[in-house]
Amino acid sequence: MPIDLLKWAEQHKHEMKPPVSNKYLYDGEDFFVMLIQGPNSRNDFHVTNSEEFFYQLKGDIVVRIIEDGRIKDVPLREGETFFVPGNVPHSPTRPPGTLGMVVERRRPPGEMEHLQFYCDNCQQLVHDLEFDCKDIVNHFAQAMEDFWADAELSTCRNCGTRVMKPKPIKRITFEPTIRIEREI
């Protein structure tokens, strides 16, 4: 039966918590659909060899991608869609009051995906966690928590900066340049 997305999101908002703030809307055999609300509190980049489709239902967000070895911020405005090709590291950054939908292909058992963490100081890759993700809602959050808790794993070998668990996004300013602010 048809689903009123905004009503469904309101009914389930208490279940969408940082770091990712996602919840399955549909969990099928071939693909799954998640609604994701802001704020989130991520500093990872997700990489899978399949495509992802983003549709921003409410508010504006930034999808950070790695392009030519550098972090690039891509604004995604309310009502817009964004396709992330396979093997492109990406990190959705969602302030409060936002709501998006993401559609992904179900990965077969044994198809690995990655959570990559980069140094805030020198932009070097700190850790590339490769894993067989069983449940993107619960497994992702636990993988992030495990990384942040491990001082050795989360310390940049290039400059010694530790990648810490980030605070939730407070706001994003888009003009004159994109500036992402986190709660204190």
Domains and CATH numbers, the chain: 5-182 (2.60.120.10)
pLDDT at 110: 87
Where is pLDDT greater, at 128 or 111?
A: 128
Split at pLDDT 50, 70, 90, the class of 22 is: very high
Rounded to whole angstroms, the Cα distance separating 105 from 48 reads: 10
Identify whether the C-beta of residue 161 lies closer than 8 Å to the C-beta of residue 119. yes
What pLDDT digit, counting tens, does each position of 170-181 carry? 999 999 999 999
Beta strand pairing call for 169-173 and 61-67: unpaired
Tell me the mean pLDDT in the region 78-82: 98
Rounded to whole angstroms, the Cα distance separating 38 from 22 reads: 9
What pLDDT digit, counting tens, does each position of 38-63 carry? 999 999 999 999 999 999 999 999 99
Question: Is residue 70 classed exposed, middle or buried when 0-12, 13-18 and 19+ CB atoms within 10 A define those classes?
Answer: exposed
Does pLDDT of 132 surpass 90? Answer: no
Tell me the mean pLDDT in the region 126-144: 88
pLDDT at 160: 97
Identify whether the C-beta of residue 75 lies closer than 8 Å to the C-beta of residue 128. no
Does pLDDT of 70 surpass 90? Answer: no
Q: Which amino acid is at 183?
A: E
Nearest 5 degrees, angle CA 117-CA 95-CA 135?
Answer: 55
Residue listed under structure tokens 């919840």: 23
Rounded to whole angstroms, the Cα distance separating 170 from 19 reads: 13
What pLDDT digit, counting tens, does each position of 151-164 carry? 999 999 999 999 99
